[in-house]
Structure 1
Amino acid sequence: MKKRILILDDQRAILEVVTEALAYEQFEVMDISLGSRLFDAVCDFRPDLILLDYKLADTNGGDLCRQLKDSPGYRHIPVIIFSAYFTPADHVNPGGCDGILYKPLDLESLLSTVYGFLDGQAARTPESA
């Protein structure tokens, strides 16, 4: 069965690139652009992983992540926040997220991180790409 990934970003170009890359890898992908739709989408789609932008037009991704992690029904879902507002040196964990990707997104890092969370391994090796 295909793993399901939900992506929330308010930039259409990022949604298109990430959705296409993940669909190419045979994931089932749903994308949304409004934070207000997140909980309905999680309930309907039942994702195995959530990719969540930190700064959204209608809300804050860190706040949404905290709400997910505080919910007994959703806290088990890994949440990866991506943002241009943090660097690896910042040592932040917005909303109790499980991982952070830094914008601009590097597709190899994205895929490696996604496979790492979904496979329960640290990262996918280049040979398995």
Structure 2
Amino acid sequence: MGVEDLIAYQKAFDLAMEIFEVSKSFPKEECYSLTDQIRRCSRSVCANMSEAYRKRKYERHFISKLTDCDAENGETQTWLRFAFACEYISEEYYNSKLEKSKEIGKLINYMINNPGKFGCN
């Protein structure tokens, strides 16, 4: 089993790709701020989860990287709020992606609270 098999990873990857697609329509003046930030943090959820999974032999490292993952997921929610407030995304889109992000957060927290189920000693 690899990190790509984890439901949390799959959902986070899908959300990051959905955010990437919608962010293509953001104004050019947002290129180096909101657009860049929302893409980076949404992708970092998966990147940190990959690092955590590879460090699962060491429970503290695993949990530490997963807390980074959770933090990036929280940042993604914040940038989604900004995109909505700036009227770059619809309320329906915002609510949909926010719910996905909250579900990902629950999965990450399950991993944090149950490291033994993911190969930690």
Pick the TM interval, shorter chain. Answer: under 0.3
Q: Which has the higher contact order (CA 8 A, sep 6+)?
A: 2
Q: Give the TM-score, by structure 1 length.
A: 0.27
Q: Which has the higher strand share?
A: 1
Larger Rg: 2
